[in-house]
Amino acid sequence: MDNTIPGKLDLGACDQVGFVFADLEAAIAQYDPLFGPFEVQEYGAFEYNYRGSKDQCELRIAFGKSGELEIELIQWVSGGSPHKEFLDAGREGMHHLRFRVDSLDQKVSEARQFGYQSIWETRFGEGLAVAYLEREGDPLLIELFENLHG
Protein backbone atom coordinates (compact mmCIF):
# COMPACT_ATOMS: atom_id res chain seq x y z
CA MET A 1 0.00 0.00 0.00
CA ASP A 2 1.26 3.49 -0.89
CA ASN A 3 1.30 5.52 2.34
CA THR A 4 2.30 8.79 0.67
CA ILE A 5 -0.24 11.61 0.46
CA PRO A 6 -0.51 11.24 -3.35
CA GLY A 7 -0.99 7.50 -2.83
CA LYS A 8 -3.68 7.94 -0.19
CA LEU A 9 -5.46 10.47 -2.43
CA ASP A 10 -5.02 8.20 -5.48
CA LEU A 11 -3.41 11.05 -7.43
CA GLY A 12 -0.96 9.11 -9.53
CA ALA A 13 2.36 10.61 -10.56
CA CYS A 14 3.11 14.32 -10.58
CA ASP A 15 2.87 15.48 -14.20
CA GLN A 16 4.12 19.06 -13.88
CA VAL A 17 6.59 21.13 -11.87
CA GLY A 18 5.75 24.83 -11.74
CA PHE A 19 8.29 27.60 -11.23
CA VAL A 20 7.61 31.31 -10.68
CA PHE A 21 9.92 34.09 -11.85
CA ALA A 22 9.71 37.88 -12.07
CA ASP A 23 11.11 37.82 -15.62
CA LEU A 24 9.81 35.07 -17.92
CA GLU A 25 12.28 35.76 -20.73
CA ALA A 26 15.25 35.52 -18.34
CA ALA A 27 13.87 32.25 -16.93
CA ILE A 28 13.41 30.81 -20.43
CA ALA A 29 16.97 31.79 -21.33
CA GLN A 30 18.25 30.08 -18.17
CA TYR A 31 16.22 26.87 -18.47
CA ASP A 32 15.88 26.40 -22.23
CA PRO A 33 19.08 24.29 -22.33
CA LEU A 34 17.55 21.94 -19.73
CA PHE A 35 13.83 21.82 -20.58
CA GLY A 36 13.34 23.65 -23.87
CA PRO A 37 12.23 24.57 -26.28
CA PHE A 38 9.57 26.51 -24.39
CA GLU A 39 6.19 27.55 -25.76
CA VAL A 40 4.90 30.85 -24.30
CA GLN A 41 1.17 31.22 -23.62
CA GLU A 42 -0.64 34.42 -22.68
CA TYR A 43 -4.25 33.71 -21.74
CA GLY A 44 -5.31 37.14 -20.50
CA ALA A 45 -7.03 37.67 -17.15
CA PHE A 46 -9.23 35.01 -15.55
CA GLU A 47 -11.37 35.25 -12.44
CA TYR A 48 -10.26 33.06 -9.57
CA ASN A 49 -11.46 32.45 -6.05
CA TYR A 50 -8.36 33.66 -4.20
CA ARG A 51 -8.35 33.11 -0.45
CA GLY A 52 -12.15 33.39 -0.31
CA SER A 53 -12.61 36.40 -2.60
CA LYS A 54 -13.11 36.74 -6.34
CA ASP A 55 -10.12 38.33 -8.08
CA GLN A 56 -8.88 38.71 -11.65
CA CYS A 57 -5.39 37.33 -12.27
CA GLU A 58 -3.20 37.46 -15.35
CA LEU A 59 -0.12 35.31 -15.86
CA ARG A 60 2.40 34.70 -18.64
CA ILE A 61 3.33 31.04 -18.88
CA ALA A 62 5.93 29.04 -20.77
CA PHE A 63 5.80 25.26 -21.12
CA GLY A 64 8.77 22.94 -21.62
CA LYS A 65 9.41 19.24 -20.99
CA SER A 66 11.67 16.83 -19.17
CA GLY A 67 10.63 13.50 -20.67
CA GLU A 68 6.92 13.22 -19.88
CA LEU A 69 7.14 15.78 -17.05
CA GLU A 70 5.87 19.23 -18.00
CA ILE A 71 7.96 22.18 -16.82
CA GLU A 72 5.92 25.35 -16.33
CA LEU A 73 7.57 28.76 -15.97
CA ILE A 74 5.20 31.47 -14.72
CA GLN A 75 5.46 35.25 -14.60
CA TRP A 76 2.84 37.10 -12.58
CA VAL A 77 1.33 40.05 -14.49
CA SER A 78 -1.59 41.35 -12.39
CA GLY A 79 -4.17 40.49 -9.74
CA GLY A 80 -4.07 38.53 -6.53
CA SER A 81 -2.55 35.06 -6.69
CA PRO A 82 -0.17 32.67 -4.95
CA HIS A 83 2.39 33.61 -7.60
CA LYS A 84 2.36 37.25 -6.44
CA GLU A 85 2.64 36.12 -2.80
CA PHE A 86 5.67 34.04 -3.74
CA LEU A 87 7.41 36.96 -5.49
CA ASP A 88 6.41 39.42 -2.73
CA ALA A 89 8.13 37.09 -0.23
CA GLY A 90 11.34 37.55 -2.22
CA ARG A 91 11.25 34.09 -3.71
CA GLU A 92 11.71 32.77 -7.23
CA GLY A 93 12.00 29.17 -8.43
CA MET A 94 10.08 25.99 -7.68
CA HIS A 95 6.54 26.85 -6.65
CA HIS A 96 4.18 23.88 -7.07
CA LEU A 97 3.66 20.28 -8.18
CA ARG A 98 0.67 19.38 -10.34
CA PHE A 99 -1.44 16.25 -10.25
CA ARG A 100 -4.28 15.49 -12.68
CA VAL A 101 -7.61 14.49 -11.17
CA ASP A 102 -10.97 13.34 -12.50
CA SER A 103 -12.99 15.35 -9.98
CA LEU A 104 -11.43 18.52 -8.62
CA ASP A 105 -14.10 19.14 -5.99
CA GLN A 106 -13.81 15.59 -4.64
CA LYS A 107 -9.99 15.65 -4.40
CA VAL A 108 -9.92 19.12 -2.81
CA SER A 109 -12.33 17.82 -0.18
CA GLU A 110 -10.28 14.64 0.39
CA ALA A 111 -7.04 16.63 0.71
CA ARG A 112 -8.40 18.48 3.76
CA GLN A 113 -7.72 15.39 5.89
CA PHE A 114 -3.99 15.98 5.25
CA GLY A 115 -4.16 19.66 6.21
CA TYR A 116 -4.47 21.08 2.68
CA GLN A 117 -6.75 24.02 1.95
CA SER A 118 -7.64 25.42 -1.46
CA ILE A 119 -6.31 28.98 -1.74
CA TRP A 120 -6.74 29.69 -5.46
CA GLU A 121 -9.16 28.00 -7.83
CA THR A 122 -11.38 28.41 -10.84
CA ARG A 123 -13.52 26.42 -13.20
CA PHE A 124 -12.83 27.35 -16.83
CA GLY A 125 -15.70 25.22 -18.11
CA GLU A 126 -17.29 21.79 -17.78
CA GLY A 127 -14.51 19.30 -17.01
CA LEU A 128 -11.76 21.96 -16.88
CA ALA A 129 -10.73 23.38 -13.50
CA VAL A 130 -7.71 24.07 -11.32
CA ALA A 131 -6.96 24.55 -7.62
CA TYR A 132 -3.80 25.34 -5.68
CA LEU A 133 -3.65 23.81 -2.22
CA GLU A 134 -1.43 24.77 0.70
CA ARG A 135 -0.83 23.39 4.15
CA GLU A 136 0.62 25.12 7.17
CA GLY A 137 4.40 25.05 7.40
CA ASP A 138 4.90 23.78 3.84
CA PRO A 139 6.14 26.29 1.24
CA LEU A 140 5.41 23.91 -1.67
CA LEU A 141 1.93 24.21 -3.14
CA ILE A 142 0.03 21.33 -4.74
CA GLU A 143 -1.94 21.99 -7.92
CA LEU A 144 -4.88 19.76 -8.74
CA PHE A 145 -5.91 19.94 -12.39
CA GLU A 146 -9.15 18.57 -13.78
CA ASN A 147 -9.05 18.27 -17.56
CA LEU A 148 -11.57 15.78 -18.85
CA HIS A 149 -10.99 16.97 -22.42
CA GLY A 150 -7.46 15.68 -22.90
Q: How high is the mean pLDDT in each 10-residue block of the chain (150 residues)? A: 88 96 98 97 93 96 97 97 97 98 97 97 95 96 94
C-alpha span between 129 and 125 (Å, rounded):
7
| pTM confidence score | 0.94
Number of domains the chain is built from: 1
Q: What's the number of CA atoms in the CB half-sphere (13 Å) around residue 24? A: 19
Angle at the Cα of 107 from the Cα atoms of 104 and 113, rounded to 5 degrees: 150
pLDDT confidence of residue 1:
64
Give the residue among 119, 62, 108 at the shortest CA–CA distance from 85: 119
Check residue 2 and give its pLDDT: 83
User: Whole-angstrom Cα distance, residue 67 to residue 147?
Assistant: 20
We report the CATH number of the domain holding residue 81 as 3.10.180.10
CB within 8 A of 122, min separation 6: which ones? 46, 47, 48, 49, 129, 130
Residue-number span of the structural domain to which 24 is assigned: 5-147
